[in-house]
Structure 1
């Protein structure tokens, strides 16, 4: 691995490591802010931008991705009673996006432009995007639903937060998300 990749990995991971100590309250504040915004008005919308970084595995090199999507739906928390055990389970409330409403691009999907001389490579090819959806539940868990990959669910649990950035891991893959609230009218 060259020095620039190591530096990029360190810079990406630094907010995850620094924010891990005392960030539970900050995630509650950030998550509650998103829920309040969506519930205020039917025209409120949250644009989510995220990045991920996956370490190299075997012969596959490291992969970075960039994704965007919007949270527009609200599903209230509910309770389920299991009569066999007598246990009541809380199902968290969540903010949702519609199917295929988000896009994800990857550094290892390239496109070569031969329009001009010399030919130019474009990492994160706009011609090789995946369709994704997002969910944010009221506990802070973020779920990235990979619609292009049989609706595989990637759960980012136990996140840390710093300001408007929510970060966490799904296995060894690091993810960070930012939230932008706006009104569609």
Structure 2
């Protein structure tokens, strides 16, 4: 919580503080914490990551961490509504640079598709979420949809041709 409150206000001092935390491995520590953490701790760690990824240097650290995307996708809907909001915000920040042909971000999207992000985000829309989260999920789905044909993330062996439809 202390780190979260230290980096929450938006100012030049805060950005310098975030850089110091990044130098000592904050992103890796938060990812390791999220893996086995209880609900409250997981929410706090995701809140810290959400704030850290407002900075370019924070997003670059996320690109370097191989567990980042699979862990976030796994935790969607599983922890709490607050955690899910943080996760959607984090994914939105990480994937947002892809529109500018960011190679690392594109690789993250492919990885997210491979671990089932598209399906989880669709479920999140069906289950329901806040208005801001719903907007971000919709944007993420549009972005992921562009990449899904390239990846082949859906099981194409399923054949629904002979499925009988009720009238």
Same fold, judged at TM 0.5 (above): no
Structure label with greater radius of gyration: 1
| Higher fraction of helix | 2
Higher RCO structure (Cα 8 Å, ≥6 apart)? 1
